[in-house]
Structure 1
Amino acid sequence: MEKRILEDLQQSGFPLEVRVALAFSQKGWNVGHQAIYVDEDERRAKYVDILAHKGVDKSFGRFERLTVTLVCECKKTENPWVFYTPPFTPLEFQFGLQQLFALRYMKVASFPNWGQAELPILLKSHYLTEEPLERFAEAYHVSWLKEDVDRDDHQQKPSKKRKFEGPDQISNAINQVLKATNHNLVSIQQLLSKVHPIAICGLFYPVIVVDGPMYEYGLNSEGNAELRSVSYLKCRASIIGQEPMHAALTKADPTTREFLIDIVREQKLGEYITSLDKEIESITK
């Protein structure tokens, strides 16, 4: 019985979730599994794989405590995840407006509220200090490699037919991690508006950890397709407001919340956690 259970577990993503949680906890992060959040589109509770927290009690700017929260989904896949990163530099970087870029994508809950004096702190985020710099994935594709073997009625020879089945793992993971991040961000900000024992600043980062192949797609100078294996990238994505999407779309000016998602292969996870620890140290020194 135990052998069958272990074999079944190895086919799932559960061992990956456990390994990811262990990697964070071994570096001093507090980890919670299967954290609940509300999916406002579907009006029901769901779960995200991991919430990892680290806090530092140290004065910086107007704040006395920094907390960093990672909202993490873990995905095991045999099918390559492929991302397209446009070759152009975002306008904010072309005009030296990195602070505007940070304001656009950084998710912060704090008391007191952020002011102009705190903007330089945002520039210490790994979004702006860790490679790849000024390059962000914007489109993605899951390559389905499972194939059916059919018999040709006339030749009686096996013929391969690609089988597109199952959910789009990337799209599902992105939706989950963004909705869970937004839920945690809004919940903490509402709490801080009512109870604020100390001046605190909280940063929230959505993360997807992948156990499987990951590639970056592009075109070379001659217009030919190229694939490059990658272990880390930053992906732009967005959701609409805090309410069900169908309700937001009926408004004249629905609010779009833009995010950057860290997408990390498991082999890169240790290095990624180290970069976050360096970021915390840089902000609070």
Structure 2
Amino acid sequence: MLRTANISELRKIIKEEKQRGKTIVLVPSMGYLHRGHLTLIEKAKETGAFVVVSIFVNPLQFGPNEDYARYPRDLERDAQLVEECGVDLLFHPSVEEMYPRPMVTFVEVGQLDKVLCGANRPGHFRGVTTVVSKLFHIVQPDIAFFGQKDYQQYLIIRRMVSDLNLPIEVRGVPIVREKDGLALSSRNVFLSAEQRQEALVLSRSLQEAAELIRRGKQSARDIEDFIRTAIRRDSQGVIDYVEVRDAEDLSEVTEINRQVLIALAVKFGPTRLIDNIVVEVETNV
């Protein structure tokens, strides 16, 4: 496996691979890899392409009171994992390499970034789209893989690629969960044993809410209330949001009569967890 922290060196490698006729696939990450990340890499490897994994904890997407400084990092552990997965190139730039001077140019996707996580984390998605845009320009991938646990991020990246006519196919990979249902996250390491157990209410309530919809429940507000009640009853988690949204454009939903996203964010102590489920609704034509 090749490794570099240098943009110029990476571009040289990519140019050579493209000259050989190779398709380039990118799996962006912030590191501290878990089975969810490794699933993205497995999907990337299945393409038979030249697979690049980036590891970069991006300061632009963290607010002033968020956990940038304590975000878990272990580059050598991650490097061993990606090498075992058969990754062709690991790109792990420093902050100075990615942002050699203060940024004055940003990429922003309107509307989609104002709801859900964007509502209470101003600037977060601007940081995400800016760094992903930079990575796309640096690596020049043909395909990029993103996990759907960050479903809003996945939609935003897809929209950015479409609006800017970037020649990149964005592929989403479903949420990877522990056997008990907890969505895998690098932040799970911060949960106490009690918080870890309480956090199971997130996936459980989402599944139960999805079943209510499949049985005919159509009120989005009733579904949201059902989940909030379950979280407050079964945990000490502090709810950031629980919302039912259109699964394609995140627009508001009152009556559930099309494919919807049920998304939530809940804090257990200082650790903020997100989860979601996409629910197909049968319509009688």
What range is the shorter-chain TM-score in? under 0.3
Which has a greater percent of helix?
2
Larger radius of gyration: 1
What's the TM-score once normalised by structure 1's chain length?
A: 0.26
Higher relative contact order, chain-length normalized (CA < 8 Å, sep 6+):
1
